[in-house]
Structure 1
Amino acid sequence: DSTNRRDTVLQNMVAAGYIDKNQETEAAEVDMTSQLHDKYEGKISDYRYPSYFDAVVNEAVSKYNLTEEEIVNNGYRIYTELDQNYQANMQIVYENISLFPRAEDGTFAQSGSVALEPKTGGVRGVVGQVADNDKTGFRNFNYATQSKRSPGSTIKPLVVYTPAVEAGWALNKQLDNHTMQYDSYKVDNYAGIKTSREVPMYQALAESLNLPAVATVNDLGVDKAFEAGEKFGLNMEKVDRVLGVALGSGVETNPLQMAQAYAAFANEGLMPEAHFISRIENASGQVIASHKNSQKRVIDKSVADKMTSMMLGTFTNGTGISSSPADYIMAGKTGTTEAVFNPEYTSDQWVIGYTPDVVISHWLGFPTTDENHYLAGSTSNGAAHVFRNIANTILPYTSGS
């Protein structure tokens, strides 16, 4: 049952050195029979899940027009999509600060992660900051829901390869892997990866090659990429209409928004609305607001299936090998953005993975990247370790579809 699965995960985490025996004991005391859809009643002093709590308050204010004072003082009961097993285990991962890089001045990189149910869009878990000292209290900035970061190569399935599949391109279609200049725009594969005359599309995606991605957008047209980005819920309004959009140039997003977009792949082409709150009751028990589940078809099921078949390669033989969870099969994509001052360093690292049961979207980076605050190397050196730990600890609680 779920209790046995939970205890097995905790024992494995102790054996691997991710948590100590005291943390295991504390986590094992979480009541597995309690409602997974948690309830908040305006108590701030003893809340256990600060990132989730903050996101709920933000959604109540922005979507349901409540004030923080009303939420705290008026006796509202807010029912959420929280899964305590997901949330507790995600927080345990984030409390292991050895997983997170730090600058020479001791500053930790920041991070945000979301676990989302792809059919309903319900957010089952969220962590919005690294647990450095006592900085993860009430009403802090949430990097999972409030940040604006470049998606890097995680945008490629959305704006490059989905339009290609929709255009009827075969998954093994040979793509240009050598052209490096289009008028004034120059591009190269990441970290000096060798070029070749051509490469099949599935390999280009799995290995996150830049040259084929840009060539594909050049062939299909930049407008197709923008239409796809908007369809998947990205804000493309202020993005320059240039080939660089294939690599995320000018696009700003966050883990929550990307989790919602990738949910379309996990949910047979239907994209749900990401949300934290299921309903709100007043002090008398009357429902004053509730989430209306809605799904938007953004791609055909056949397109979603083909995209998933390619994105499985990310974790089996592509850039996500080091992110792959033990004993589970996931599809998804990694992403990085180069630091402006040195292309060998990165500003953003992403891993997004999904099954039919859950989408996990993870970002890592410094709030501001400069010569003293940057990520060394690729995703495999940073974000991969955090993502793998999150996936290993919450996938046992899914249905295993």
Structure 2
Amino acid sequence: YMPYIDMVIDEAARLYGLSHQEVLRGGYTFVVPMDEKIQKVAYNQFQDARNFPGKEEGAQGAFLLMDNRTGGIKAAIGGRKYVPRGFNRIFAKRQPGSVLKPLIVYAPALETKKYNPYSLLTNERNSFEGYEPRNYNHAYSKEMTMYDAILESANVPAVSLLNELGVEEGKQYLEKGNVHITDAGLSTALGGLKNGVSTFDLVKMYRAFLANGTIIEPHVIDKVLNRHGAVIGESPKVETKIFSKQTAWYMTKMLEGVVKEGTAKVGIYSGALAGKTGTTSLPNDDNGARDMWFVGYTPNLVGAVWIGYDRTDKEHQLQGESASATKLFKKILTKANIEQKEQFMKPEGVETIGAPIRLRKIEDVKMKLAFSPFGLFKAKLSWTPLPDERIMYRIYRVENGIHTHVGTVNGAGEYEEKFVNIFSKPSFYVVPYNTQTNREGEKSKVAKP
């Protein structure tokens, strides 16, 4: 419990004017929001070296878990071998990597109301005034949705979007939460900061996505009582509005997608969970990692895990899976038997988003000719529709080398062209159409009679 006790001592001095000596001398009772079971589970997991994939011994970590409603800290681990009045890594500023993207890029973009989760963002390699971001998997495309950019933690869309918004526009939301960064370059989109941010900062700020856009200062003291049992101090629980509740709900749905089918799908936790992964690398080293992060939340709790070395060099760097922080976070929640039945609830008065539409090539288009009235022919096309009924199908006719859009079908797997000239040898193909992005998918093979 030592990290938690030290945080109580520090908070007693900062908020209630009680010195270290006064606290230790006794006479005061501190009511704290700690969940003893979660604290023990987290401590035990931090002693297990298998959770810390370091090249050498000594890989460290931090863990913080906060009650969403009150801001009370349920569990706090400041290091794997924490000593009284030691270095509490919960407050250590580290490079946040991609866990900063939702706070400085995507939520600010949604706040402008010019973007939504299925807005298309640039995903082509580009130079932004000399800064050339690269996607971690070296895969690029013309464009991708905001939803998928977050899901895959793509770097180019984040930098491109922050370039459009302006770095200061993104930073202002962190400033509202009293999180100050001095960096002014586009690398801030990817969490490339001079001084970094802390686990404490990230938990505080991510709470905005769960709580209709508001943050609350995390605390470890609910009440202070004197020797007579009278309350002489109480947590103020002051909330600050950062984002609109519409933005918060959009972010929750996208971050829930990250856990269900994106970079945070690894590990085991069966309850509702939303969150973001982050990894920072050593310069000129594609294999080692400096920091590994997961910041996320359930319907009731907000938390973060950081893994790394206090001082990183070629001999002291993280190896193995970049998902180690995500796995550790989920493992703590699962072993602590955190309630898993509750789901994220949409606030009143906000728009929701459907699941992303995924297009596939239509493989089985068939065409038949049949007689129509007046001795003419008609063409009947059929194919197996994709499972998502929101998908539309655009029909194209190829005649004398000219491709013509002749019709659109909503959700069905058949189309009829009433009059065709068989002497021009017409053929047809089908293209699925995404109604979220207003973009076509891959065209089918050409069907001939």
Give the TM interval when normalised to the shorter protein.
Answer: 0.7 to 0.9
Contact 2:293-2:307 at 8 Å conserved across structures: yes
For residues 156 and 232 of structure 1, what CA distance do their matches in structure 2 show?
A: 16
* Number of the residue aligned with 1:113: 63
Mean alpha-carbon deviation: is it higher for 218-227 or for 244-253?
A: 244-253
For residues 309 and 234 of structure 1, what CA distance do their matches in structure 2 show?
A: 24
Contact 2:212-2:245 at 8 Å conserved across structures: yes
The one-letter amino acid of 2:277's match is T
Mapping for residues 2-401 of structure 1, pairs under 5 Å: 49-104=1-56, 107-130=57-80, 135-144=81-90, 146-168=91-113, 169-190=115-136, 192-236=137-181, 239-250=182-193, 252-323=196-267, 325-377=268-320, 379-380=322-323, 382-394=324-336, 396-397=338-339, 400-401=342-343
SS across alignment from 1:315:
helix
For residues 140 and 398 of structure 1, what CA distance do their matches in structure 2 show?
A: 34
Contact 2:54-2:319 at 8 Å conserved across structures: no
Q: Which has the larger radius of gyration?
A: 2
The alpha-carbon deviation at position 90 of structure 1 amounts to 1.4
After superposition, the C-alpha distances for 1:340-392 in whole angstroms (9 at most, x for unaligned) are 24133211110012122001211000001101100125522x22331221121
Higher relative contact order by CA 8 Å / sep ≥ 6: 1 or 2? Answer: 1
For residues 377 and 198 of structure 1, what CA distance do their matches in structure 2 show?
A: 30
After superposition, the C-alpha distances for 1:173-197 in whole angstroms (9 at most, x for unaligned) are 111111331112121112x330111
The alpha-carbon deviation at position 397 of structure 1 amounts to 4.4
For residues 240 and 311 of structure 2, what CA distance do their matches in structure 1 show?
A: 35
For residues 266 and 187 of structure 2, what CA distance do their matches in structure 1 show?
A: 27
The one-letter amino acid of 1:352's match is V
Contact 2:216-2:240 at 8 Å conserved across structures: yes
The one-letter amino acid of 2:330's match is R
For residues 138 and 399 of structure 1, what CA distance do their matches in structure 2 show?
A: 37
Contact 1:118-1:264 at 8 Å conserved across structures: no
The alpha-carbon deviation at position 63 of structure 1 amounts to 2.7
SS across alignment from 1:289:
strand
The alpha-carbon deviation at position 284 of structure 1 amounts to 2.4
- How many positions carry a matched residue from both structures? 341
The one-letter amino acid of 2:72's match is G
Contact 2:29-2:227 at 8 Å conserved across structures: yes
* Number of the residue aligned with 2:368: none
The alpha-carbon deviation at position 52 of structure 1 amounts to 1.1
The alpha-carbon deviation at position 249 of structure 1 amounts to 1.9
For residues 113 and 94 of structure 1, what CA distance do their matches in structure 2 show?
A: 9
Contact 1:360-1:391 at 8 Å conserved across structures: no
For residues 241 and 373 of structure 1, what CA distance do their matches in structure 2 show?
A: 29
Alignment TM-score, normalising by the size of structure 2: 0.73
**Structure 1 343/233 Cα, relative in aligned 2: closer, same or farther at 3 Å?**
farther
Contact 1:270-1:299 at 8 Å conserved across structures: yes
After superposition, the C-alpha distances for 1:255-311 in whole angstroms (9 at most, x for unaligned) are 121111111111121211111111112222232221112111211111111111111
The alpha-carbon deviation at position 399 of structure 1 amounts to 7.4
SS across alignment from 2:141:
coil
Structure with more of its chain in helix, by fraction? 1
SS across alignment from 1:376:
coil
Question: Identity of paired residues, percent?
Answer: 32
The alpha-carbon deviation at position 395 of structure 1 amounts to 5.0
* Number of the residue aligned with 1:20: none
For residues 245 and 362 of structure 1, what CA distance do their matches in structure 2 show?
A: 21
SS across alignment from 2:222:
strand
Contact 1:336-1:378 at 8 Å conserved across structures: no
**Structure 1 218/395 Cα, relative in aligned 2: closer, same or farther at 3 Å?**
farther
For residues 185 and 54 of structure 2, what CA distance do their matches in structure 1 show?
A: 34
The one-letter amino acid of 1:174's match is L
SS across alignment from 2:149:
helix
The one-letter amino acid of 1:78's match is F
How well do the aligned residues superpose, as a CA RMSD in angstroms?
1.7
The one-letter amino acid of 1:188's match is R
**Structure 1 260/394 Cα, relative in aligned 2: closer, same or farther at 3 Å?**
farther
For residues 340 and 217 of structure 2, what CA distance do their matches in structure 1 show?
A: 20
The one-letter amino acid of 1:359's match is V
Contact 1:120-1:294 at 8 Å conserved across structures: no
